[in-house]
Amino acid sequence: MARLGARLAIFGSLVFLVGCDHATKGVARAEFGSGNVRELIRGVMELRYVENTDVAFNLLRWVPEAIRRPWLLVVGAIAILALGFMLARARGQSPLRRGAFVLVMAGAIGNYLDRVVRGYVVDFVHVSHWPVFNVADAYVTIGFCLLALEFFSRGSPPRRGFG
C-alpha cells in the first residue's frame, strides 16, 4: 500500500507541476502574446512572449524545421520514457534524488506537451544576457542542480584504474 501511495504522490506532483507550467504559459500568451513586455527589474529581468521551435540556446537552428520537429518529438518521447524508468528505479533512494527526477520529468513533459499541441514551446522569462525560458526549463535546471548536489555531497567516488 505504501508503494501505491508513493506512486500517487509522484503522479500528483507531476500533474501539479506540469499544470503550473502550462498555466504560466497561458498567462504569458494572453498578457504578452501581442508583443507587450513587462520589465520586472530594470535592465535585468523582463517578461515577454516567445514561440521557440528549437531547443535551448538554439542549438538545432541549423537543422531544417521539417526534420527538427519530428526528431524533437521522437527524442522527447524517448527522454520522458527514460526519465520515467529512472524515477521508478529511484524508489529506494534519497528523497532529494526522487524530487530531482520529478522536477526534471515535469519540465520535460511540460515542454514536450507544448511541442505536441502547439508545434513550439512557449518561453516568457528573459534575464539579461540569457535566452528566454519558461517554468519547465527552470524545473529541469533545478532538478539537475539537485542531482549534482546529491552526487557531490556523497563525496568523491573511490579511484579505480591507474590513479
Q: Any idea which residues carry the catalytic annotation?
A: 123, 137
CA angle 114/119/121 to nearest 5° reads 45
Q: Taking the C-alpha atoms of 110, 111, 115 and 118 in order, what is their torsion angle to the nearest 10 degrees?
A: 60
The strand pairing partners of 41, in sequence order, are 45
Q: Measure Cα distances from 50 to 13, 31, 58, 73, 103 in Å.
A: 27, 12, 13, 20, 23
Q: Measure Cα distances from 110 to 1, 55, 120, 148 in Å.
A: 29, 14, 12, 22
φ/ψ of 25, rounded to 5, equals -65, -40
Tell me the C-alpha distance between 15 and 29, whole Å: 21
Grid cell 527552470 is found at 138
